[in-house]
Amino acid sequence: MSLRDLPKLELHLHLEGAAPPSLIRGMAKEKSVDISRVFCEDGSYDFRDFVHFLSVYEAATSVLKSPEDYARLMTAVLEESASHGVIYTEFFVSPDFCGGSDVTAWREYLHAMEEAATRAEAQLGIASRGIVTCIRHFGPDKAKPTALCAAETAGGWITGFGMGGDESVGHQGDYAYSFDMAREAGLRLTTHAGEWGGPTSVREALDDLKVERLGHGVQVIQDLALVDRLIEEDIVLGVYPKWDRHPIQALRERGVKVTVSTDDPPFFHTTMTREYEQLARVFGWRASDFHEISQTALDAAFCDADTKARLADKLKDHPQ
Ligand code: ADE
Ligand code: ZN
């Protein structure tokens, strides 16, 4: 079994967080922007901790200044994902970085991204959808125009609304107005919770934002009653595993639905193939385990039934 060739679904990928450092460096050069402090000597992204990661992420993103830049980024990321066997990706996309959450500008950025995604699907067979994402440390007032961008472009490629950023800022419920607006527009909901925040952050995400998927969620392992609630309410976790004593296996064995993603792959020096290799090495996962998480991801994906049926055929075609 080649782990690289196994068909994979990825539900948690930040578009800017997947930007190859070489693409960002090249664009910075073209535009004569100095972002040298973003990189280490070996050319990879350089950050000390999570809050610094967020600031380096925003500095790298600052070179992406037009819809065409985002189309180039989308093409590069989908090519890389397809080369790791990914057949379906859900991107976190951020109107805050694409025209400052102005609806007219956002439509232009989105159009360029969608065109690139459609081309990649035709050429490489990788399908994708977008989850419009507000950024928690920008505050609840900034989230409202972002949610309006989401609501105005709901349907088609945009199928979800979510929140990333610094989980230690405020409470999940501070963003309820924006999540309500997105829900009323028919969007599916997710948020980052239980990445750095503990069980309280996860409870608030379920109670106050009423999300159906959690990004990360791994800190719930501290609270088994909450773990059981995730099982009861059929909440799916999208996990970026860090390998020492990672709770993914314990959560899965208890019955929580888990999926695997790379989040911001070049920042964390990973790929979907590498995640699969680690799962095989650390927990002895085999083809049947990978098939099970792909099926979980397919069931939890924010896409239409026809797309799911096509993806199910691709999973079925692959020998176990
Ligand atoms: N934005 C990009 N990556 C993120 C992460 N892992 N957590 C929160 N916000 C993010
Ligand atoms: Zn994330």
CB proximity list for 224: less than 8 A, separation 6 or greater = 254
Q: Which of 49, 57, 133, 263 to mutate to test the pocket of ligand 1 (most atoms within 8 A of CB)?
A: 263
pTM: 0.97
Q: Which of 92, 192, 237, 270 to mutate to test the pocket of ligand 1 (most atoms within 8 A of CB)?
A: 192
Is residue 121, in this structure, part of any structural domain at all? yes
Q: Can you tell me the distance from the alpha carbon of 166 to that of 237, in angstroms, rounded to the nearest whole number?
A: 18
Is the Cβ atom of 264 under 6 angstroms away from ligand 1?
Answer: yes
Is the Cβ atom of 160 under 6 angstroms away from ligand 1?
Answer: no
Per-residue pLDDT of the chain (320 residues; tens, 9 = 90+): 799 999 999 999 999 999 999 999 999 999 999 998 999 999 999 999 999 999 999 999 999 999 999 999 999 999 999 999 999 999 999 999 999 999 999 999 999 999 999 999 999 999 999 999 999 999 999 999 999 999 999 999 999 999 999 999 999 999 999 999 999 999 999 999 998 899 999 999 999 999 999 999 988 989 999 999 999 999 998 765 566 678 899 999 999 999 999 999 999 999 999 999 999 999 999 999 999 999 999 999 999 999 999 999 999 987 66
Is residue 313, in this structure, part of any structural domain at all? no
Is residue 316, in this structure, part of any structural domain at all? no
Q: 79 and 51 share a domain? A: no
Is residue 233, in this structure, part of any structural domain at all? yes
Q: Can you tell me the distance from the alpha carbon of 266 to that of 76, in angstroms, rounded to the nearest whole number?
A: 13
User: In which order are the strands placed within the sheet that holds 236-239?
Assistant: 8-14, 86-93, 127-135, 158-164, 188-193, 213-216, 236-239, 257-260
Q: 292 and 146 share a domain? A: yes
Q: 28 and 112 share a domain? A: no
Strands (E), the chain: 8-14, 86-93, 127-135, 158-164, 188-193, 213-216, 236-239, 257-260
What's the burial of 65, exposed, middle or buried (CB within 10 Å: 0-12/13-18/19+)?
A: middle
Is residue 317, in this structure, part of any structural domain at all? no
Is the Cβ atom of 17 under 6 angstroms away from ligand 1?
Answer: yes
Ligand 1 mean position, distance from CA 136 (Å): 10
CATH label of the domain that carries residue 267: 3.20.20.140
Q: Can you tell me the distance from the alpha carbon of 75 to that of 83, in angstroms, rounded to the nearest whole number?
A: 12
What is the residue type of 313?
D
Is residue 3, in this structure, part of any structural domain at all? no
CA distances from 75 to 20, 68, 114, 181, 231 (A): 11, 11, 10, 30, 37
Q: 37 and 90 share a domain? A: no
Is residue 1, in this structure, part of any structural domain at all? no
Q: 205 and 264 share a domain? A: yes
Ligand 2 mean position, distance from CA 13 (Å): 7
Ligand sitting nearest the alpha carbon of 201 = 1
CA atoms within 13 A on the CB side of 211: 31
Q: 85 and 170 share a domain? A: yes
pLDDT of residue 317: 81
CA 315 to chain centre: 21
Which of 2, 12, 1 is CA-nearest to residue 302? 12
- CB of 60 within 8 A of CB of 101? no
**DSSP tag of 237:** E
Structural domains of the chain, count: 2
Q: 79 and 49 share a domain? A: no
Is the Cβ atom of 192 under 6 angstroms away from ligand 1?
Answer: yes
CA 181 to chain centre: 21
Indicate which residues carry an active-site annotation.
195
Q: 26 and 168 share a domain? A: no
Q: 52 and 107 share a domain? A: no
Q: 179 and 58 share a domain? A: no
pLDDT of residue 319: 62
Q: 231 and 89 share a domain? A: yes
Ligand sitting nearest the alpha carbon of 166 = 1
Domain with 31, as residue range(s), is 21-63
Is residue 49, in this structure, part of any structural domain at all? yes
Report CA torsion sign: 100, 104, 107, 111: negative
Is the Cβ atom of 72 under 6 angstroms away from ligand 1?
Answer: no
Ligand sitting nearest the alpha carbon of 13 = 2
Q: 120 and 259 share a domain? A: yes
